[in-house]
Every structure is written in C-alpha cells, then in structure tokens.
Structure 1
Amino acid sequence: MSQYALITGARQGLGKAFAIELSKRKINTILVSRPNNGLNILCEELKEKYQIDSRYYETDLSEYKNVIDLGAWINLHFDIFILINNVGTGGTKKMTEAPIEYINKILNLNIVTTAVLTHQLLPNLLRQPKGYILNVASLAAYLPIGFKTVYPASKSFIYSFSRGLNQELENTNVSVSVVCPGPIKTNGDVIIRTGKGYFGKFMMLEPEVIANKCIRQLFEKKAEIIVNPMVWFLIKILPTWIKTPLMTKIARKEIS
C-alpha cells in the first residue's frame, strides 16, 4: 500500500506550501481543510503537475467529533508516514471584548485538534518503517503577549507537547519536530495586521521558504526547527520584562 503525508489547514498559506514541497519530493498527500474551500482543485493541480496521488478531506476541525471522524477515516484507508499539524487560528482582541466563541475556537483548533489527531494517528505512524510528525507552533510560544493572550498560550502547549512526545518516542521509528515561525506572508489581512512597523516586517517570511526548511529538517529528525535564526535568538535572549511589553505594544497596533 502507498504511503501518504497528511496535512491539516492545507488550502492556503503554509499548509499549501507544505503540500507543494512534499509533492515536489514525489510524496503522496492527503489535504485537509474547511468545506467549500477549493481543496479539490488544489489536489488535481498537484496530481497533474507532480505525478503523485493527492486526496482531500473537507471538514471543520474545530469540532471534536470531526477530528475523531478524520482519524478513523485515515486509519481505515491509508498508511500515514508524515503528519503535519498545521491547522490553527489566532487573532488580536482585548480580552474584555473577545467573544467566547473566539476563545473556544483558538483552544479547540490549536490545542485539542493537534493533540487528539496525533493520538489517533500515532499507531498508524508507528506501523511504518519511518514516521514523522511536524507540529506548527509560533514564535509566540516563547513569550506572553497582551491582546493575544490565549493564542500564545495555545502555541506554548504545542511546543511543549511536541518536545515531550519526541522524547517519549525516542526509541521508536517516529520522530516529532516543532517549528515556531513568526508572521507568514499568507494573505492581505495577515500582512496588514502583523506587518505594521519595522519589527513585524523583519519577522515576516514567505511560506515557501518556511516549508522548504521544515521538510528538509523534518527528515533530519530535528526536534526544533528554526526558520528565522536571528529573530529566534533575539526572542530567546531578551528577558521577559523587556520582550513581553515590546510584543504587547506591537500587538496593540493591530487593534488600533
């Protein structure tokens, strides 16, 4: 049976870049995204251009039952040797003005979906000669940020979960990597929100650049993938009492 790479949040941005990068390497893909998002068109393009098999599954992964259903469908029909947990959501709002649905969606999509889907597919990955998991966190995982609050906390979970699971699976055929990219040039709204000021533009990278580095280092079994070393180093060395107010000031501009 052929092996596949599963990518969540695959229709645009970094998820789409992952799909293209894997297709270039002649790896079959299963792409997951929300319904009515043109995912079938992307699959056909990948199959025609790269001569690989590409399947799609449309669902809202912020709903717990849909995550379980996806895992069951995958395990029934496919051998998975790569899992890329890319789906996620965020935003910038005052906590007092944030709807409860906004908070709940961030927690469900960023935390529950990543943990549960990994749990459901891990036995499948362990059956393969080699298995790879890539979880997409964020530079926000390293620091609290006012006006984002829940989002950085959710990405801290992904970072901790990934590093811990990688240790747990150390003597198996499955490795776990986590990447913490900064702002990504995905669409106009993201560029406008996060690209304000010199620091925002300095952090922003093209999704294709990130995808290429990630897949290369994923196969090298790097536990933590660094895509922007200079920004990563700055965030690591700055004390919290400096970087948290600084990043909060930048985030405040997104809602002004």
Structure 2
Amino acid sequence: MFKVKKQLFKERLSKNLHKEFGVQVVFKETDLSITENVLSTSNWINENYNVSILVNNAGIGGTKKFEDTTVTYIEKIIQLNVVATSLLTHQLLPNLKKQSKAYILNVSSLAALSPIGYKTVYPASKAFVHSFSRGLYQELKDTNVFVSVVNPGAMATNPEVSKRIEQQGILGKLTLLDPDKVARKCIKRVLKRDTVIVVNPLSWLLLHILPIWIRLPLMTNAIKREVQ
C-alpha cells in the first residue's frame, strides 16, 4: 500500500509540473546504492534522452558512534555519496558532451570542510564529492560541460530532520536551510557558471577561518547532542 501511494504521489507531482511549467516529466525509482542499478539507470537515460544538466543530489548521512554502526550503514554512505556520484557522472558524460551546452551540479555539504565526530564517514564522503567536482571542473573547463559543486548546510527536508538538527543547538539552527531556496539559488548559479556555490556564507566563512583544533571539537559536540 505504501509503495502504491508513493507511486501515485510521483505521478501527480509529474502532472502538476507539466501543467505548471509546460515540461515533460519522467520519473524512475531505483536504489542508487546498488552499482548495477546505477549502471542500468545510466544506460536507460542514454538510450532515451539527451542530457544537458546532471544534478547529483542523491546522498545519505547519519549520526552514530562509529563503533555502533554496521557494515551496511558504512557501505551505503560510501556507495551512494561516492560511487553513485562518480559512476553516474562517468556514464552520462558522453551524452552531456554531445549537447551545445551542458552542466553538472554535484551536491556536497558544509561537512566536507571539516571532519566531525559521530558522523565520521559522511564528512569524508562529502569531501570526496567536493574534491572530485573541483578536479573535474578543471579537466572539463575547455569543453562544453561546466561543473559546479554546492556545499549547503543542514536542510529542513521534513519536520523530523528539522527537529533533530535543532537539537544541535545554536549551530544547528544557524545552518538550517530551506530546500526550495537552496534549489533555486543552485540552478541560478550553475547557469551563471559559478563553479563553487555558497548558500550559507556565514557558516562557510566560519569553517574556513576557525582552525581545526577549534572547529573539530565544536562541530563534534554539536552533533553529539543528536546521539544523546
């Protein structure tokens, strides 16, 4: 029943987007933490569509003591945040290069700018996304494909997530962002060829200014409140 409701919701959303913006909308549900699904989805896209914009937005995190995590927990973060982002980009790049202008937007995180206790694997995976994006931008800068990366803070995607982030205290509240506003700004900036997109300047500045011996315990203590 739950799957049927999700399917109906996506169909209604697709129709509403078509009605409001006059664009064709197609959705395909799959688990990108499985490599075979990433490759089959890439093949399906390449066989049926011309791609001018690729947004690698799929990602997963979590807050746990590292010793209490499972192999599945660790593997899923790496597979989705690192492997899926890399493989989707690799498999769709020939398609993107066929267009007159094309863009890749990779969604990293402010967590990419600092290690964080009780998250451990997640910041490392997002640091990969940031580094990967910057390197790929340099590699493709003389082609028709422009590469951007955005490092947003925590996003208020639903009430449960918002409540959990607010438990981090003042740091969590300051960095909590509206997903709609972030999405609009990202699309606007990538089309203006901004290779590093900043949506929370205050947090970005603090993470660059604060030395690691202050930044690491500060962020870890904020995140620790979630575990407690």
TM range (shorter): over 0.9
Residue among 141, 156, 160 paired with 1:189:
160
Are 2:124 and 1:153 aligned?
yes
Residue among 191, 196, 201 paired with 2:173:
201
> What's the CA shift for 1:39?
2.5
Residue number in structure 1 paired with 2:111: 140
> Following superposition, which runs of at least 4 residues in structure 1 exceed 4 angstroms of deviation?
none
For residues 199-243 of structure 1, what are the alpha-carbon distances to aligned partners after superposition, in whole Å with 9 as ceiling and x for unaligned? 111111101111111011100111100001111011111101100
| Cα RMSD for the two superposed structures | 1.1
Matches within 5 A, 1:166-181: 166-181=137-152
What residue ranges of structure 2 are gaps of 5+ in the alignment?
A: 1-5
> What's the CA shift for 1:124?
0.3
Alignment partners' CA distance in 2, 1:149 and 1:198: 21
> What is the identity, as a one-letter code, of the residue corresponding to 1:109?
L
Residue number in structure 1 paired with 2:3: none
Alignment partners' CA distance in 1, 2:8 and 2:101: 32
Q: TM-score, normalised by structure 2?
A: 0.95
Q: TM-score, normalised by structure 1?
A: 0.85
Residue among 100, 111, 120 paired with 2:82:
111
Residue number in structure 1 paired with 2:185: 213
> What is the identity, as a one-letter code, of the residue corresponding to 1:223?
T
Residue number in structure 1 paired with 2:133: 162
| Higher strand proportion (structure 1 or 2) | 1
| Higher helix proportion (structure 1 or 2) | 2
Are 2:62 and 1:84 aligned?
no
Tell me the SS of whatever aligns to 1:134.
Answer: strand
Are 2:16 and 1:45 aligned?
yes
Residue among 17, 20, 32 paired with 1:61:
32
What residue ranges of structure 1 are gaps of 5+ in the alignment?
A: 1-34
For residues 141-191 of structure 1, what are the alpha-carbon distances to aligned partners after superposition, in whole Å with 9 as ceiling and x for unaligned? 000000000000000000000000000001000010000000111012211
Are 2:207 and 1:235 aligned?
yes
> What's the CA shift for 1:137?
0.4
How many residue pairs are counted as aligned between the two chains?
222
> What is the identity, as a one-letter code, of the residue corresponding to 1:111?
V
Alignment partners' CA distance in 1, 2:160 and 2:116: 20
